[in-house]
C-alpha cells in the first residue's frame, strides 16, 4: 500500500538508492499502489557518478511491498521492505540488473524484462 | 402402564415413548446418548418392577434435543418404529434450531474433507519454531516443483483452512508466506529441525532476522 510520501528502496542498479512516491499512475484516483503498479517518484538518494541524480522525477514499478499479496490458490506473500524498479515511459527497466525476489505477477503485467533479470522469481 | 403413556404423550415430546422403553436401562442409555440410536425395541424387555422406575426416570429425560444418531442427515428415521402396541403417533421430527444443525453438519463435512486429504498425503505436525522444507508445485511456472525452506512463525488451526506462516530469506530479502496446510499444491513437507520457542507467534523474528534493516 504505497501512497505519496512513501520511501521505497530501489531494486536495480540504475543509480538511485531511495525513491519517494509522489503520484500513482492509474485511472480513478487510486489511493494506494500495490505490486505491479506504476508510480511517479522523485529520487531522494543516489549513487554518485551515475546517469540518475538526486531530485530527478522518474517513473517506477513497485516490485515488493510490506503489504501482503494474495494469490488465488490461497498463498499469501509478504516482503520485508517496499521496493521499486526504475522504468522509462514504455515500461523497460533503466538498469541492467535487478536485486532481490520478484513476484510472478509482474509477468502478466508485461514487465517481462524485469522478471527475466530477476535472481529469484517467487 | 397406559397412564404413563398418556401423561407423557400430552407433553408433546415424541421422544418420551422411546425413553420410557429404555427407562430400565437409563444410566447406560445416558452414557451412550451421543453414540447410539435409540433402542425402540426396549419396550419388550421392560419388566414389571421396571415400570415404577421408568415413571420417574422417564420424566427426567424429557430432553428437548435432536436425535443423535451416527449420521444426522438421516435422522428422520424416528418414525419408523414398528412394534409399539400403543397408539401410533403421527410422525413428528423435532430438530435443533436450524443454525445449530447447520453448524454441526459443517463440522462433520470439514472433518471428512480433512481426513480425505490426510489419507492421500502424509502431512507432519507443524508447530511454530519448526524449520521446514516444502516442495511446492507452481502451475504458472509450467509445473515446476520448487523447494522452499524456512522457519514456521505462526500456525492457524481452522479445519480444512488451517494455514501456517513460513519466513525465509530469498535473495537477500526476507519473505513471509502463508500456505494453506491442506493445499494440493504442496507436494511434500519435511521437518528439518525443531527450535525451542516460548511463543505461539514468532513475529519478533521480523526485527531480528531482517537483513535490510539499517
pLDDT tens per residue across span B142-175: 666 788 899 999 999 998 999 999 999 988 889 9
Q: Which comes out higher in pLDDT, residue B1 or A122?
A: A122
Interface test with B, best of A74, A85, A112, A115 (most B CBs within 10 A): A74
Q: What is the model's pTM?
A: 0.66
Q: Shortest CB distance from B183 goes to which of A74, A83, A107?
A: A74
Neighbours of A61 (CB within 10 A): 22
Pairing of strands A69-70, A57-64: unpaired
B61: confidence class by pLDDT, cuts 50, 70, 90: very low
Which chain A residues have any C-beta within 8 angstroms of a chain B C-beta?
9, 64, 68, 73-81, 83, 99-101, 104, 107, 119-122
Q: Are the Cβ atoms of A104 and B210 closer than 8 angstroms?
A: no
* Separation of alpha carbons A86 and A11, rounded Å: 8
The complex's ipTM? 0.87
Q: Shortest CB distance from B140 goes to which of A77, A104, A120?
A: A104
Which listed CATH number (2.40.150.20, 3.90.550.10, 1.10.357.10, 3.30.420.10) goes with A6-121? 2.40.150.20
Closest-CA distance of chain A to residue B172, Å? 6
Q: How far is CA A9 from the centre of its chain?
A: 8
DSSP string, A26-38: STT--S-B-TT-E
Cell 499502489: give the residue.
A33
Q: Which residues of chain A are under the pLDDT cut of 70?
A: none
Chain B residues 101-140 within an 8 A CB cutoff of chain A: 138-140
Amino acid at each position: 500500500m504505497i501512497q505519496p510520501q512513501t520511501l521505497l528502496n530501489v531494486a536495480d542498479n540504475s543509480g538511485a538508492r531511495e525513491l519517494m512516491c509522489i503520484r500513482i499512475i492509474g485511472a480513478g484516483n487510486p489511493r494506494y499502489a500495490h505490486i505491479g503498479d506504476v508510480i511517479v517518484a522523485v529520487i531522494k538518494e543516489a549513487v554518485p557518478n551515475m546517469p540518475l541524480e538526486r531530485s530527478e522525477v522518474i517513473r517506477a514499478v513497485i516490485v515488493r511491498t510490506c503489504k501482503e499479496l494474495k494469490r488465488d490458490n490461497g498463498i499469501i506473500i509478504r516482503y520485508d521492505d517496499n521496493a521499486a524498479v526504475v522504468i522509462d515511459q514504455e515500461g523497460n527497466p533503466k538498469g541492467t540488473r535487478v536485486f532481490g525476489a520478484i513476484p510472478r505477477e509482474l509477468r502478466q503485467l508485461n514487465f517481462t524484462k524485469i522478471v527475466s533479470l530477476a535472481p529469484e522469481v517467487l | 402402564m397406559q397412564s404413563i403413556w398418556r401423561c407423557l404423550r400430552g407433553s408433546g415430546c415424541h421422544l418420551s415413548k422411546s425413553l420410557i422403553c429404555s427407562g430400565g436401562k437409563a444410566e447406560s442409555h445416558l452414557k451412550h446418548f451421543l453414540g447410539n440410536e435409540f433402542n425402540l425395541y426396549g419396550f419388550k424387555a421392560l419388566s414389571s418392577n421396571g415400570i415404577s422406575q421408568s415413571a420417574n426416570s422417564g420424566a427426567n429425560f424429557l430432553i428437548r434435543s435432536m436425535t443423535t444418531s451416527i449420521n444426522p442427515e438421516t435422522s428422520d428415521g424416528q418414525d419408523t418404529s414398528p412394534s409399539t402396541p400403543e397408539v401410533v403417533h403421527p410422525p413428528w421430527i423435532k430438530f435443533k434450531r436450524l443454525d445449530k444443525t447447520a453448524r454441526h453438519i459443517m463440522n462433520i463435512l470439514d472433518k471428512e474433507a480433512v481426513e480425505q486429504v490426510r489419507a492421500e498425503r502424509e502431512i507432519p505436525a507443524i508447530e511454530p519454531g519448526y524449520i521446514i522444507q516444502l516442495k511446492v508445485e507452481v502451475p504458472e511456472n509450467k509445473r515446476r516443483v520448487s523447494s522452499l525452506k524456512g522457519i514456521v512463525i505462526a500456525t492457524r488451526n481452522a479445519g480444512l483452512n488451517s494455514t501456517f506462516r513460513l519466513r525465509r530469506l530469498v535473495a537477500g530479502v526476507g519473505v513471509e508466506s502463508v500456505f494453506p496446510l491442506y493445499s494440493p499444491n504442496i507436494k511434500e513437507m519435511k521437518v528439518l529441525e525443531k527450535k525451542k520457542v516460548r511463543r505461539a507467534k514468532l513475529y519478533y523474528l521480523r526485527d531480528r532476522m531482517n537483513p535490510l534493516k539499517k
